[in-house]
Amino acid sequence: MAKRIDVKDLDIFYGDFKAVEGVSMTVEPRSVTAFIGPSGCGKSTVLRTLNRMHEVIPGGRVDGKVLLDDQDLYARTMDPVDVRRTVGMVFQRPNPFPTMSIKDNVAAGLKLNGVKNKKRLDEVVEKSLKGANLWNEVKDRLDKPGAGLSGGQQQRLCIARAIAVEPQVLLMDEPCSALDPISTLAIEDLINELKSQFTIVIVTHNMQQAARVSDQTAFFNLKATGQPGRLVEVGDTQKIFSNPDEQATEDYISGRFG
């Protein structure tokens, strides 16, 4: 089910502003790739092109290719809604639908897809909450609002919501930045489990986190404000953190800038 992502010569624009230039990389199925780099270098921008969320922003467009296995996500025949179903996303701030119950939060995507069978919905809700390591904490209050959960629980609820529709790729933009260390570890454990089923790309500012959770690390940088961000180096996480090819990578991971 999990798919390979191939990015080829990707340039990304906001109107006339070229925010990111010349990105090419491959993400293997059932692996975790971390995007690291200083603020403004384009990590979120690149992430959003992987499920066509970038074009939702006025003026947002891309040049180049993003392939999912061998399917071109930007082919004219591709439906962006289908793409977003296949490539799910979890955001920096947990964003459950506040008035919806925990159960309905998880089932929301399925209902949109037309699933009405109550038994089927209950099964998926349970499976997804178990998959997100949240089931035991919420199984007795599935009908209570999602907004009543702690920040870490809400983030796991959002992960449950994302995996309920069985995507093949999961994108996460700084999913732990609003969380305490214990919740952060819970999410990291979860990412480790999820990678047996999903292809995962995570943006993080936390170097230890990148080193802990990812198989591959991509370091992005920009020369100066107003210049496009670039992918400086991508490779095996252990190598990037111990013996990178580029001086800029070394400087960044050792905390000399950024």
Ligand X SMILES: Nc1ncnc2c1ncn2[C@@H]1O[C@H](COP(=O)(O)OP(=O)(O)OP(=O)(O)O)[C@@H](O)[C@H]1O
For tokens 């025949």, name the residue.
Answer: 77
Judged by beta carbon distances under 5 to 8 A according to partner kind, the member of Mg ion, ligand X, none in contact with residue 212 is none
Judged by beta carbon distances under 5 to 8 A according to partner kind, the member of Mg ion, ligand X, none in contact with residue 1 is none
Binding span for ligand X by CB under 6 A among 40-48, 64-72, 133-141, 147-155: 40-48
Angle at 61 between CA 57 and CA 64, to 5 degrees: 145
Q: Return the beta strands (E) in the chain as ranges.
A: 5-14, 17-27, 32-36, 60-68, 71-72, 87-90, 169-173, 199-203, 216-222, 229-236
Q: Is 42 in the site for ligand X (CB under 6 A)?
A: yes
Choice from 56, 57, 81, 112 touching ligand X (CB under 6 A) = 57
Half-sphere exposure of 166 (CA within 13 A, CB side): 5
The residue (of 57 and 81) whose beta carbon lies closer to ligand X is 57
CB burial of 127-142 (b: ≥16 within 10 Å; e: otherwise) equals bbbebbbbbebbeeeb
Least Cα distance to 177 among 202, 205, 153, 208 occurs for: 205
Q: Is 43 in the site for ligand X (CB under 6 A)?
A: yes
Judged by beta carbon distances under 5 to 8 A according to partner kind, the member of ligand X, Mg ion, none in contact with residue 88 is none
Choice from 2, 5, 19, 73 touching ligand X (CB under 6 A) = 19
Q: Yes or no: say if 27 and 35 are a contact pair by the CB < 8 Å rule.
A: no
User: How many whole angstroms separate alpha carbon 180 and alpha carbon 203?
Assistant: 17
CB burial of 58-85 (b: ≥16 within 10 Å; e: otherwise) equals eebebebebbbeeeebbeeeeeeeebbb
Judged by beta carbon distances under 5 to 8 A according to partner kind, the member of ligand X, Mg ion, none in contact with residue 97 is none
Judged by beta carbon distances under 5 to 8 A according to partner kind, the member of Mg ion, ligand X, none in contact with residue 14 is ligand X
Q: Tell me which residues touch Mg ion (CB under 5 A).
A: 44
Minimum CB separation of residue 44 from Mg ion in Å reads 3
Q: Is 156 in the site for ligand X (CB under 6 A)?
A: no
Q: Is 45 in the site for ligand X (CB under 6 A)?
A: yes
Judged by beta carbon distances under 5 to 8 A according to partner kind, the member of Mg ion, ligand X, none in contact with residue 73 is none
Q: Is 44 in the site for ligand X (CB under 6 A)?
A: yes
Binding span for ligand X by CB under 6 A among 32-40, 154-162, 177-185, 247-255: 32-40
